[in-house]
Amino acid sequence: MTKSLWKRTRDTMSSFVVNNVAGESGRKLPQYIAGLAASGGALAAGTFLGWTSPAEIPLVRDSEYGFTITTEQFSWIGSMANLGAALMCFPIGIMMKLIGRKWAMLSMVLPLVLGWALIIWASNVAMLMVGRFFLGIGGGAFCIAAPTYTAEIAQSSIRGTLGTFFQLLVTVGILFVYGVGAAVNVQVLSIICGVIPIAFGLIFFFMPESPHYFVEKNRYDDASKSLKWLRGSRYDERAEIEELKADDAKMREEKITFVQGFQQKSTIRALIISLGLMFFQQLSGINAVIFYTNSIFESANTGLNSTDATIIVGSIQVAATLLSTFIVDKAGRRMLLMVSDFFMAVSTILLAVYFQLKQSDPAKVADLGWLPILAVCMFIAMFSIGFGPVPWLMVGELFANNVKAYASPLAGVFNWLLAFLVTKIFASLVDALGSAGVFWLFSGFSLLGTVFVFFIVPETKGISLQEIQQLLGGEKNASSAPPASGLNNPAFDENKTEAQ
C-alpha cells in the first residue's frame, strides 16, 4: 500500500514537472532581460550599418578628416563591413561550441572597439576601410550568435518575440546614428558609437550562459542555475534539464561530420528555407530603397532635407520592428513573411511606375510627389515587420544543435555576401536598366519570395526546437504537435502524409 501510494505520488510529481514545461510555467521577465541584453550587440551593429549615411557628405564632399575621399573609395569603405561580417560567420559558430554563446559574444567587443578606434583616429582611407572591416567582424558575429542565444534561452511561447529583439535593436541603432549624426561631426559620432559595445559588454557580462551549452559540456548544475535565473527561483527545471540531456545524448549518438550533416533531410530542408529567406530579403530592394530615400524626398518637394528624411525612415523602421515583436508569436512567421513580401512588391511597383512616368515626362509626376513617399514608407514598414527580423529569427530555430555550428553561419555568409554584391552592382544595374527597370526587377523578386514562403516555409510559432526538427525530418511523431502550432500549410503536407 505504501509502495502504491509512493508510486502515485511520484507519477503525480512527474506529471507536474512535465506540465511545468509544457504549460510554459516560470517567469518570462528574466528571459526578456537576457534577450534584450544579448541584442545589445545588435544595437552596436546598427550603429555601424547606419554610420555611412550621416558620414558620407562630411567625409566625401567636405573632407572633414583632412584627406580626400572619392565616392568610389567611400563605397568601398561602406562595403568592407559586409566582407568582415561574412568572414566571421563560420568562426563564431566554432567559438560558440568551444567557449559558449555568452563568451563568444563578449569577445566581439574587442573588434568593435578596435574598429571604431581606427575610424576615430583615421589619417587615411586605408584606416577607415580596415576599421569598417573590424566593425563587420563584430557585427556579423552577432547576427549568428544573438539569435542562437535567444532561441536557446527562451520558452516556446516567447521565442519569436525574443528573436525579433535583434532586428529591433539594429533599427534602433540605425535611428540613433541618424539622430546623433545630425547634431555632431563624424569623429564625435564615431566616439559615441564606440562606447556602445563597451556598454554592451558590461551589461551582458551579468547574463547567464545558455543552458544548452552547459548540458553539452555535462555541466548540469550550471545548466540548472542558468534555468533558475531565466525561469525564476521557483521554477522546477528538472524536466527541462532531462529533455536537454536527452537531446544532447541523441546528438552525441548521431554525431556527424560536415558532409554527413548536409545529407540529413531536416538539415537540407532547413538550409533551403534559410538561404531562400536570406536571398529574398536582400533581393527585395531594401538597399536600393534606402539609397534612393534622399532623392525621392527631395524630388517630391516636401521641404524636408536629407537628414529629416533619414530620421523619418529610421523611425518607421523602429516602429514597425517593435510592432513585429508584439505580433510575431500571435500572427506567426509565415503570415508576417507573406504580408511583408507582398506589400514590398506593391511598394517597388509604385516606385517603378513613378520613375517610369518621370523618365518619359517629368510633368506627369508634378502632382504625384506623395506617391514615392508613400511607397518608401510602406516598403520600410513592411520590410521591418516581416522580412527584416523573421529570417534571422528562423535561422536560430530551424537547425538542429548538431549542425547549427555548420549551417547557421552559411546563412549568415550568404546574407552578407549578397548585401555586398547588391550594394556594389546597384549603380551598374541602374545604368543598364534605369531606375524604373531596377524597381520592376525588385518587385518581381518580392512576388517570387511570397510564393516561396507559401509553399516552402513552415510555421514554427509555438513549436519546441525538438518538434521543429521532427517536422522538418518528416518523422511520424510530428503528428502529435498541437494544432495551435499552425502546421496547416503546404510546407508540411509531406509530413502529414508520412505521419498518416
Q: Which amino acid is at 290?
A: I
Q: Which amino acid is at 309?
A: A
Judge contact between 15 and 214, C-beta under 8 A.
no
Q: Alpha-carbon torsion 315, 321, 326, 330, what sign?
A: positive
Give residue 14's pLDDT: 36
Quote the CA–CA distance of 259 and 495 in Å, as a whole number: 24
Burial class (CB in 10 A: 0-12, 13-18, 19+), 460: buried
Provide the b/e sequence for 129-166 (b: ≥16 CB within 10 Å).
bbbbbbbbbbbbbbbbbbbbbbbbbbbbebbbbbbbbb
**pTM summary value:** 0.77
Low-confidence ranges of the chain (pLDDT < 50): 1-24, 478-488, 494-500
State the cell numbers at 377: 514608407
Judge contact between 137 and 111, C-beta under 8 A.
yes
Give residue 116's pLDDT: 97
Quote the CA–CA distance of 411 and 398 in Å, as a whole number: 11
Quote the CA–CA distance of 312 and 8 in Å, as a whole number: 63
Quote the CA–CA distance of 405 and 424 in Å, as a whole number: 29
Q: Among all chains, which residue has been given the C-alpha cell 517536422?
A: 471
